[in-house]
Amino acid sequence: MRQNKIKFTYLPLAFFSLLFSLCVLASLVACTANGEPVEGEYISPIDDGKTKPVPNSDSSTKPSSSTNSDVDSSSSTDSVIDSTFFSMFEWVRVPNASIPRGINYFKVNSFKMTTTEVTQKIYKLIMRDLPKQFKEGEDRAVSNVSWFQAALFCNAISRYSGLDTAYVYKSISGDFNLVDLTIDYSANAIRLPTENEWEIAARGGTNTTYYWDADIATKYAYYGQTTGPDTVAKRLPNDFGLYDMAGNVAEWVNDWYDEYPKTVSDSIYVGPGKGTYRVVRGGGWSDKVTVLAPKEREKLAPADAKTTLGFRLVYSTGF
């Protein structure tokens, strides 16, 4: 009789313990199903194998953005658009196009591009650090970022958004140098634009010297200044809805710098296979207006950084 009494006494305790465990499990499943990170989950913000906490996902981490009718979220491949990190930016779709290079034309598939340059606030949130800025401000364009740092940022925000990563490398050495780097253009990932993608986006469907044609340049571009980068999207966008494609900060693109090919190719051109310098486009806050034309090119070593140089992002499902 005494043994039966002991079993009867502990039965309710075991039952409620099991019930509590099931409730906790159900809560975790619900969080995962809603796409929200579980508190305490760890992800590397710079894709280097180190673990860091996921940044807070409340609305205070997202910059305000205006409604843009050109934003296209209808494609089934764009389901990641609702991701906490992906939705930090406003994106527009740049249509299929071709671009003349001498006697040749090069095809560019449709892709999405952020309407603004990456800001100091978002860069610091993702990378947990901010390079020394000429002038600080959360909504100012981030600058003084090397090409390697920009590539690491793209990998980090791709991972946060549940995507693949475009930049594949063996290790990181020195000042963020990516050893044995290759770029996987077939990846469903966020990355820097190719030079051809960038120019087609900057022109906004125009073929004039500047995308504002004969209008007043200062309505569209921030240039000829001495006070550092400005807040993004303060001036008028081009016809695709992209801000600061000229001025504010010049922008890194993926391509190695070299002469354009003189032979026709059916494949999409992504620049030379190797080189010494990466291409820079768009002109920065201290440049003359002539540097702001979409066709103008600059070059810089990928490990170097300047207070006049930043970047923006593209999203592509691969080609």
DSSP conformational letter for 286: T
Separation of alpha carbons 13 and 18, rounded Å: 9
136-to-124, 196, 226, 312, 318 alpha-carbon distances in Å: 12, 31, 14, 18, 35
Separation of alpha carbons 73 and 20, rounded Å: 40
232-to-25, 119, 150, 209 alpha-carbon distances in Å: 44, 8, 18, 23
The domain spans of the chain are 54-316
Give the three-class secondary structure for 100: strand
Strands (E), the chain: 42-43, 52-53, 91-94, 97-101, 104-108, 111-114, 167-168, 171-173, 177-179, 182-183, 189-191, 250-256, 278-281, 298-300, 309-310, 314-316
| pLDDT value of residue 52 | 34
| pLDDT value of residue 115 | 97
Whether the model clears a pTM of 0.95, i.e. scores above it, the answer is no
pLDDT per residue of the chain (319 residues) written in tens, 0 to 9 = 444 443 434 334 444 444 444 444 444 333 333 333 323 222 334 444 333 333 333 333 333 333 333 334 334 334 444 456 788 899 999 999 999 887 788 999 999 999 999 999 999 999 999 999 999 999 999 999 999 999 999 999 999 999 999 999 999 998 889 999 999 999 999 999 999 999 999 999 999 999 999 999 999 999 999 999 999 999 999 999 999 999 999 999 999 999 998 877 777 899 999 999 999 999 999 999 999 999 999 999 999 999 999 999 999 888 7
| Tally of residues, the chain | 319
Separation of alpha carbons 146 and 156, rounded Å: 15
CATH number of 54-316: 3.90.1580.10
Instruction: Decide: 277 and 304 in contact? Cβ < 8 Å.
Output: no
| pLDDT value of residue 83 | 58
| pLDDT value of residue 34 | 39
Separation of alpha carbons 239 and 248, rounded Å: 18
DSSP conformational letter for 81: G
